[in-house]
Structure 1
Amino acid sequence: MTNTTEWDALPTTVRTFMTALDAREVDHALATLTTNAVVTDEGHDYTGHGEIGAWVAKAAADFTYTTAFTGATTTEAGVDVGQHLEGDFPGGVADLHYRFTIDGALISRVVIEP
């Protein structure tokens, strides 16, 4: 396990996914995923490009918030990215972990949890 504090040291697919998710850029996010990828957010699984695309388009769309990269840990299976959010959502502040499983050059699984 390696701690990576530099955003630029993360795999390109992970950086692209995180940036696309924040901007709700569905096509850019989907381009980083395998066709049968699974994203788990708030305990719900979104499977495949159709469900994940709809999730990206609506994820936190009701709220205004800022994000800050707080660090990452890399493993043989993938990457765990920390992100700090502040905004007008319930609670106003959240620290989330995005756990990525990498399959070749693409992401096959993302689990988002506190």
Structure 2
Amino acid sequence: MHDNQPHAITPDTLPETITRYLKAHRTHDTATAITAFTRDATVTDDGATYEGTAAIEQWLSRSATEFTYTIELTGAQQTDAAHYAATHHLEGNFPGGTIDLHYRFTLRDHLIERLVIAP
């Protein structure tokens, strides 16, 4: 069945690259997090797009210090071999205090080529 509809998977079956990025991001380990991306990767977060590893590294460093929050992986989906999504529940001192964010990943050659973060 190839209808390109996302289907639920268990978070522990996400590809290693995504798991490595998520764990490093959660622990504010920018050096490890950046290794999960292709050199020409793009990240879209909060309405802004960051292109290339230098811009993504700056985004990671800033997002790690801007607010204090907890993050819990609450679900995962797979659309095909290159497209995955992870849902996180965040609680912290940012406007609103709680939010569920969807991290949509596109992989290329076992690395993250594109990441879009949105509610």
Q: TM (normalized to structure 2)?
A: 0.89
Runs of 4+ that moved beyond 2 A = none
Task: Please report the RMSD computed on the Cα atoms of aligned residues, expressed in angstroms.
Answer: 1.1
Query: Residue 64 of structure 1 corresponds to which residue in structure 2?
Result: 68
Pick the aligned partner of 1:92 from 77, 92, 97.
97
Partners of 1:90 and 1:43 in 2: how far apart? Answer: 16
Query: Residue 9 of structure 1 corresponds to which residue in structure 2?
Result: 13
Query: Residue 118 of structure 2 corresponds to which residue in structure 1?
Result: 113
Letter of the 1:79 partner, please give it.
Y
Percent identity between the two aligned chains: 42
Structure 1 regions of 5+ residues with no counterpart?
none
Partners of 1:108 and 1:62 in 2: how far apart? Answer: 25
Q: TM (normalized to structure 1)?
A: 0.93
1:103 matched to 2:108? The reply is: yes
Partners of 1:25 and 1:103 in 2: how far apart? Answer: 22
